[in-house]
A and B are shown apart, each in its own frame.
Chain A
Amino acid sequence: MATLDLINVEKSFGPTKILHDISISLADGEFLVLVGPSGCGKSTLMNIIAGLEEPSAGQLRLDGRDITPLPPADRNISMVFQSYALYPNMTVAKNIEFPLAMRKVEKSKRAERVKSVAKLLQIEHLLERKPRQLSGGQRQRVAIGRALAREPRLYLFDEPLSNLDAQLRLDMRTEIKKLHQRLGATIVYVTHDQIEAMTLATRIAVMKGGVLQQLGTPYEVYNRPANIFVAGFMGSPRMNLVNARLMQNSSGLALDIQTGVRTPVRIDLPDMPSAMNAHIGTDVIAGIRAEAVNLVRAGMVAGPTERVFDARVEVIEPTGADTLVVLDLGGNEFTVRLEPDVSLKPGQDARFFVDLAKLVCFDAKTERLIA
């Protein structure tokens, strides 16, 4: 497989900048997911990697070799398209064989390759069919099979699951992950679905408005989002963001949270990054994930990073695996994830633990993570 380096890649159409100075380096065998809302430039970036569009500036290196001027066919990159893009006039076997035939691979070798790919993806019984005779999931497999057939250096997936129904999407997601583990292939994958990004990626590139917002492992992106946008975009439910003022306390740092007309609630913070000290006395935005909150039960003692707070229950949304509860926290909505059989009612006041071990704070002005 291969390493991929994007070096200061830019793209503009006339005066409109689609991509701003994107630099990403992928190690061999990495699974990079480009994620972001529609219009963020992720598909453009993928097309540039594929060679279907030219960057306005910057360079692409595959295995250290500059591929920027190469046409798509000479890059040794395979792509799986959102619409599958199966050739309607060819059978499944011919579809899988096509990239090999175009490369003038020997006939016996082609047949062998088609066979092994079909076996890997369990589509052997479909080989003689035409694409229109296949279901969505089967088409998806064939499209992946065609990408696998020529054993490229790099695989590109352009929202490959978005045309499938919900159940099939989960199955195919698992299958793509399995495939990655088995092949050890380097993959770039585009999606607007942040859950797909979290589950599949070894690294995630979050994009917005043509700007790379954050590049990191799913863990980093989820727990240490680089800015407010990433915090809100990644994770479902989204991260709770609370306006507060950072204060110096006798024992350390504390947050003053303005809750309506009452005096601010003061919450003592556990050890925080030293960069926080520079922001004492300024407004910050505190980010807390829904699962950092628990309902207080009799006999429970707060841990070293846990704090107690009271709030009114507004909405209860059971999802089966757990229950999402929207709390009213001084006029702000605050979503928490509780156990499935929690016995709360809307309108009820309750007491909660919040674990601040994973608290993140953002500068209220720049909206960037303070770290």
Chain B
Amino acid sequence: MADRRSTGRGADRVILYAVLLCLALLFLLPVYVMVCNSVKPLDEIRGGNLMALPIAWTIEPWLTAWSTAQIGVQPTGLKPYFLNSFLLVVPAVAISTLIGALNGYILTQFRFRGANLLFAAMLFSVFIPFQIVLIPMAKTLGILGLAGTVKGLVFVNVVYGIGFTTLFFRNYYAAFPHELIRSARMDGADFFGVLVRILLPSSGPIIVVTVIWQFTNIWNEFLFGASFSDYSSFPITVALNNLVNSSTGVKEYNVHFAGAFIAAIPTLVVYLVSGKYFVRGLMAGSVKG
């Protein structure tokens, strides 16, 4: 096999890698355009070529996007909204993941009447389009007194995330050895003891999957953010939209590029750090070994 590949298949390999390289460059092109133009003065963008490297390098657009761009009433930059998104994402991810784990535990380990029906109903929530729930959700948030707050957005995203997180954990725990749970019960672990001491410590891969999934979804979520927040509680996606769509003055493309990149950094980091766990976790349980 090895020698055949090195002689006859050599040319094929070269072509294959050339094609792959071209495709990779094609996919990286938008990133290049964003980064490259975010470090150019505005004149260079207007006067020249989007693809050209900057002549005069500057980080001014990044600083403007971060701290002085006009987004709300005040020229605050993206900074406070970036923080809003973290205040939204961290609790929303943590709560929806924990509830998913709890649901998965209950749905797999306590075969109560209607368990499958309940699971099907939760699964169905995954397929409900966001737009349908906007008005009822606005009403609910009003009743709860959470309208226009980050807490309200946390609530909305947790509710919407439970379907996914339950699906992930239920399927993971369905393959979990039943005897372990029985053993823990006999050893004296109570309801939460089993979850906290036996199930969760063995749930590494699925927790990673759920956290990445929820983090990217909630971080990138726009519609709920635009509908249920106000100037003080905008998440980064809405702030970015306001930055780019502000109709006053000239379009500062370099600032827009920098802002878009800032908004994308956290999800990029999450993928780069734990992407391999993501694939591994999605496969877990589907194949033996």
Report whether chain A binds chain B. Answer: yes
Q: Which residues of B contact A88 (CB under 8 A)?
A: 180, 202
Interface assignment of A194: CB less than 8 Å from any CB of chain B? no
Q: Mark B7-30, 1 if CB is under 8 A from A, else 0.
A: 000000000000000000000000
> Which residue of the partner chain, among A52, A77, A102, A150, contacts B189 with CB atoms under 8 Å?
A102
Interface residues of A in 33-75 (CB under 8 A from B): 50-52, 71-73
Is the Cβ of B184 less than 8 Å from the Cβ of A87? yes
The secondary-structure label for the interface of chain A is loop
In the assembled complex, the Cα of A82 lies from the Cα of B180 at a distance in Å of: 11
> Which residue of the partner chain, among A52, A89, A90, A146, contacts B182 with CB atoms under 8 Å?
A52
Interface assignment of A352: CB less than 8 Å from any CB of chain B? no
Is the Cβ of B185 less than 8 Å from the Cβ of A72? yes
Interface assignment of B269: CB less than 8 Å from any CB of chain A? no
Interface residues of B in 172-210 (CB under 8 A from A): 177, 179-180, 182-190, 193, 197-198, 201-202
In the assembled complex, the Cα of A52 lies from the Cα of B197 at a distance in Å of: 19
Is the Cβ of A81 less than 8 Å from the Cβ of B179? yes
Is the Cβ of A73 less than 8 Å from the Cβ of B185? yes
Q: Mark B254-284, 1 if CB is under 8 A from A, else 0.
A: 0000000000000000000000000000000
Which among B185, B188, B189 has the greatest number of chain A C-beta atoms within 10 A? B188
In the assembled complex, the Cα of A72 lies from the Cα of B190 at a distance in Å of: 10
Which among B177, B179, B187, B189 has the greatest number of chain A C-beta atoms within 10 A? B187
> Which residue of the partner chain, among A77, A83, A89, A90, contacts B186 with CB atoms under 8 Å?
A77
Q: Which residues of A contact B185 (CB under 8 A)?
A: 52, 71-73
> Which residue of the partner chain, among B179, B197, B201, contacts A85 with CB atoms under 8 Å?
B179
Is the Cβ of A85 less than 8 Å from the Cβ of B177? yes
Interchain nearest-CB distance for B198 vs A (Å): 6
Check A99/B187 contact, CB under 8 A, given A88-B202, A89-B202. Answer: yes
> Which residue of the partner chain, among B177, B193, B201, contacts A89 with CB atoms under 8 Å?
B201
Is the Cβ of B190 less than 8 Å from the Cβ of A73? yes
Q: Which residues of A contact B180 (CB under 8 A)?
A: 85, 87-88
Is the Cβ of B187 less than 8 Å from the Cβ of A82? no
The 5 A-B pairs at the shortest CB distance, nearest first, are namely: A102-B188, A89-B201, A85-B183, A99-B187, A85-B179
The residues of A with any CB-CB pair to B shorter than 8 Å are 50-52, 71-73, 77-79, 81-83, 85, 87-90, 98-99, 102-103, 146, 150
- Can you list 29 A-B contacts with CB-CB less than 8 angstroms, sorted by A residue number? A50-B182, A52-B185, A52-B186, A72-B186, A73-B185, A73-B186, A73-B187, A73-B188, A77-B186, A79-B183, A79-B186, A81-B182, A81-B183, A82-B179, A83-B177, A83-B179, A85-B180, A85-B183, A87-B183, A87-B184, A87-B197, A88-B180, A89-B198, A89-B201, A90-B201, A98-B197, A99-B186, A99-B188, A102-B187
